[in-house]
Structure 1
Amino acid sequence: MFLTITTTGTAEKPATDLGFLLHKHPQKAQSFSTSHGTAHVLYPEATPERCTAALLLEVDPVALVRRGQGRGRGGAPDAALAQYVNDRPYAASSLFAVALGSVFRSALNARCAARPELPEQARPLRVVIPALPARGGPELVRRLFGPLGWSAVEVTPVPLDTRFPQWGDSRYVRLVLEGELRLADALRQLYVLLPVLDGSKHYWVAPDEVDKLLRAGDGWLAEHPEHGLIAARYLARSKRLTQDALERLELVRLAESDGSAVEEIDNAVIEETATPEAEERRVPLARQRRAAILDALRAAGAHRVLDLGCGQGQLIHDLLADVSFTEIVGVDVSVRALTVAARRLRLERMGERQSGRVRLLQGSLAYTDKRLTGYDAAVLSEVIEHLDLPRLPALEYAVFGAARPGTVLVTTPNAEYNVRWETLPAGDVRHADHRFEWTRAEFRDWAHRTAGRYGYAVDFAPVGPDDPEVGPPTQLAVFFRKDSAPKEGIAA
């Protein structure tokens, strides 16, 4: 079984950069041992204009049976001969997905030490898999790959025997994918969808398969229209594991926008190429929020930071990347959200020094908590709008009155900007769980009253493109305790 990955380039951006991305030199043919055979990587062509890498997996079918790997959970038929007469050595399946994940591990994880900028660049890709099992037929293949950003998904059924066309087609197809994607995204899609289409795995499906599915599906699976089918098949139709995966995918979907489901709107960027803000609009708003928060924390000289309402931990992830933040505490009322955050951050795999910088705590922001006192800064990113207004004073006292960090950062949607979202019906809030969304005047009025009540000063800054008529999509308020002056100011 094999696949080829082809890209094109120019003299300035040569196609042979594919070798850096895959960590396999184009001038060499390399072989790698796997638990079920040998994987070979070779380059049939490698020029600055066009480069093709091929992954070939040779499976020892006898060894596969002897190791008990010929049949996986939910896998091969029960016929006694099926373990010896099967398609495992010839068609792309979970065997091939595991080899792909092992041989191209760095590319799958978007890492390139020699050229760290390359993994984040989308490039023209053509992926060819000559023999792919397709339980569900060509239409299912199109439904699975169609929503993933490929400009062309070509699925050609393979006949049972070309000499006898009356026999019809086999359950195998030839798949060709073409489009401009990051290589890591393409490989992650294949890693998940190859065994999904085959409908079988060569190994027993354990609970850690849910973690593998969510890691490989990060950024695309939660919003895929067939995510339920994908999860069920990937997890060998285990009801318990599938339910766990679907619950966590729902949390991912909500947490992609730092605690609310506005990422779908945030990423539906308005294409206004004639405006100066067009380039800025291409960056997801959730990412712009986190960048603005990090800048404000650095300007305040904060080192020990609370992320209140941390959700799945995206902001914590960014904070950990900056060693100037020596202690980071994430707080959320949802135990499940904290569990997802811990897995996303890979706390169990962190080194002792890194794990010593971060803690996750379960707690409600409507109650005072002695564990939250004494910190340099606290962040409430897209949190306050999820509270009923009568409960907001309790949060104000718990944060500004009891915990009293030197700096408090609050972000919330700007209701005036909602008219710029073409997909948002007039009068609607950005997410069904939002209890309110304030205008700029309403937010500033609340911020000034809260600051005055608890001995803080407050500055304001826009997040996202600052529309001259309706303002920015997100409002940021930076509260400074009056006895804790900031080192630098922020733009009002």
Structure 2
Amino acid sequence: MTLSTTHRPATDLGFLLHKNPARAQQVEVSTGTAHVFYPEATDERCTVALLLEVDPIALVRGNRGNEGFALGQHVNDRPYAASSLLAVALGKAFASARRGVSKERPDLVDQALPLEVHLPALSCRGGAELAERFFAPLGWQVEARAVPLDEQFPEWGDSRHVDLRLRGTQRLADAINQLYVALPVLDDAKHYWVSTDEIDKLLRAGSGWLAGHPDRELITQRYLAHQRALSGQAMARLAEVDDADVDTFDDAVAATPEVPERPAPLAQLRQGAVLAVLRAAGAHRVLDLGCGSGALLPALLAEPSLTEVVGVDVSSRALEVAARRLRLDRMPERQRARISLLQSALTYTDARLAGYDAAVLMEVVEHLDPDRLPALEHAVFAAAAPSTVVVTTPNAEHNVRYPALAGGGLRHRDHRFEWTRAEFAEWADGVAARRGYAVRYLGVGGDDPEVGPPTQVAVFTRAAGQEVAA
């Protein structure tokens, strides 16, 4: 990130930032080293650059949010794009400037200066439109351009990264605090655990501008990692700051707060739907294929009708996390005998997976590249060939109902695609016809009359004694 000013003398920027333009400085952060230096420093124009050099080992060591996709700890965009990692470096490198403190130039602290900010590779889930929505109401002139996946192959389309340039007249402290909030909000991800102290950080950085921002609810939800309880507390405190009724800040607040209605989380509804299908099928021995860190396994283990539960994933790291989540080392022997964890790739046949009553692929298929789906089909429906297969996947049509995806994009950074209802049915009908199954469809979550439910489910069943199609 670079930040420039044409205030005269422009080198006063060094006094406001507490960073001498004559020398480069380093600041250690949890994920690497932040370098602060000045590509130009004259009376007419001064530019400070913040470069975060990410230590990949430190990044993996500190990761607490991606255990279900172990390879993602090593293969990702974090060292190359402005994200929540850069926000932490920004906050630490320019801590005094964020507080509006300058011993040498106290008269400039409260003065609006001509500023220009450039983020050439900003991680922005929502695209250029969302960057415009964030910064334009704050008085910035916004130039946001989507970065193509590969300029030599324009047919591949755009990436989720944006080349962002901001120009405006702002207090330096306000500009830095706005960027401090914007980076994790636009990235829609944080690389560290989010708890109640993040509310205080948000309100401090958002002082003077967040309460009046038209997208304050979206900003709050994203900054607090979509944790509903934390977002509710933050919105209530913003209402207190603005001396307004909390209902004007959060239209999700019930009209009768003494009897609040809290819908069950979609993940919980998905699990309930899967369990209902397994009960109806009379399944006793079940495979959880692509189990990741074990989100579904506790619910399967708590179902008394299931005598054997097998969690399967290609990632040994994810299986280790699942074992800890289940506390296998302290599980009673009788319960422990009902569950096992296997490392196996779902795109290769594995004789150990044959002969089970049912298999569940809950939010799995969208993580595969489309050209690997035929291999998955063969391994699951032809080689393993359980009597019942339950597949859940996002309904891409419903994404327009999520404010965070208003500008397009997928629900998870590792999704390779998301199907519409017609696309899902086309794939599932083809699998059923080729492999000797019947298929029916269910929805999970509110069934929107225009765009359907947020999650779509296909239930494949094979009649007893029916020959499996190779």
- TM-score relative to the length of structure 2: 0.51
Aligned to 2:47: 52
Structure 1: distance between partners of 2:124 and 2:207: 24
Structure 2: distance between partners of 1:99 and 1:245: 24
Residues 121 and 161, structure 2, Cα contact 8 Å, conserved in 1 = yes
Partner SS state of residue 156, structure 1: strand
Q: How does 1:54-203 map to 2 (within 5 A)?
A: 54-65=49-60, 67=61, 69-72=62-65, 76=66, 78-150=68-140, 152-203=141-192
Following superposition, the deviation at residue 115 of structure 1 comes to 1.7
User: Among the aligned pairs, what percent are the same residue?
Assistant: 62
Aligned to 1:33: 28
Residues 71 and 201, structure 1, Cα contact 8 Å, conserved in 2 = no
Partner SS state of residue 222, structure 1: coil
Residues 91 and 133, structure 1, Cα contact 8 Å, conserved in 2 = yes
Residues 131 and 172, structure 1, Cα contact 8 Å, conserved in 2 = yes
Partner SS state of residue 36, structure 2: strand
The CA deviation string for residues 265-301 of structure 1, in whole angstroms up to 9 with x for no partner, is xxxxxxxxxxxxxxxxxxxxxxxxxxxxxxxxxxxxx
Residues 12 and 105, structure 2, Cα contact 8 Å, conserved in 1 = no
Structure 2: distance between partners of 1:103 and 1:79: 31
Following superposition, the deviation at residue 77 of structure 1 comes to 8.4
Aligned to 1:9: 7
Question: What is the root-mean-square deviation of aligned Cα atoms in Å?
Answer: 1.6
Structure 2: distance between partners of 1:37 and 1:241: 29
Residue type of the partner of 2:7? G
Structure 2: distance between partners of 1:130 and 1:96: 13
Residues 127 and 177, structure 1, Cα contact 8 Å, conserved in 2 = yes
Instruction: List, as ranges, runs of 4+ consecutive aligned residues in structure 1 with deviation greater than 2 Å.
Output: 69-72, 76-80
Structure 2: distance between partners of 1:91 and 1:78: 22
Q: How does 1:269-284 map to 2 (within 5 A)?
A: none
Structure 2: distance between partners of 1:221 and 1:146: 13
Residues 3 and 116, structure 2, Cα contact 8 Å, conserved in 1 = yes
Structure 2: distance between partners of 1:48 and 1:121: 18
Following superposition, the deviation at residue 172 of structure 1 comes to 0.1
Partner SS state of residue 213, structure 2: coil
Following superposition, the deviation at residue 9 of structure 1 comes to 2.8
Partner SS state of residue 252, structure 1: helix
Residue type of the partner of 1:97? A
Residue type of the partner of 1:248? R
Note the residue ranges of structure 1 that are not aligned, 5 or more in a row. Answer: 256-260, 262-492
Residue type of the partner of 2:63? G
Structure 2: distance between partners of 1:175 and 1:57: 17
Partner SS state of residue 117, structure 1: helix
Q: How does 1:224-243 map to 2 (within 5 A)?
A: 224-243=213-232
Following superposition, the deviation at residue 71 of structure 1 comes to 4.6
- Say how many residue pairs are matched: 246
Structure 2: distance between partners of 1:157 and 1:209: 30
Q: Structure 1 residues 171, 77: closer, same or farther in 2, change over 3 A?
A: farther
Residues 71 and 83, structure 1, Cα contact 8 Å, conserved in 2 = no
Structure 1: distance between partners of 2:113 and 2:58: 39
Structure 2: distance between partners of 1:106 and 1:123: 17
Residues 61 and 88, structure 1, Cα contact 8 Å, conserved in 2 = no
Structure 1: distance between partners of 2:7 and 2:196: 42
Aligned to 2:18: 23
Q: How does 1:283-362 map to 2 (within 5 A)?
A: none
Following superposition, the deviation at residue 94 of structure 1 comes to 1.2
The CA deviation string for residues 44-99 of structure 1, in whole angstroms up to 9 with x for no partner, is 1100001000000100112210x2x2353xxx583331111111111111111011
Structure 1: distance between partners of 2:12 and 2:161: 32
Aligned to 2:389: none
Aligned to 1:402: none
Note the residue ranges of structure 2 that are not aligned, 5 or more in a row. Answer: 249-470
Structure 2: distance between partners of 1:55 and 1:96: 9
- TM-score relative to the length of structure 1: 0.49
The CA deviation string for residues 393-448 of structure 1, in whole angstroms up to 9 with x for no partner, is xxxxxxxxxxxxxxxxxxxxxxxxxxxxxxxxxxxxxxxxxxxxxxxxxxxxxxxx
Structure 1: distance between partners of 2:77 and 2:64: 11
Residue type of the partner of 2:3? I
Whether 1:42 aligns to 2:40 is no
Structure 2: distance between partners of 1:71 and 1:187: 27
Partner SS state of residue 155, structure 2: helix
Residues 108 and 188, structure 1, Cα contact 8 Å, conserved in 2 = yes
Structure 2: distance between partners of 1:201 and 1:9: 34
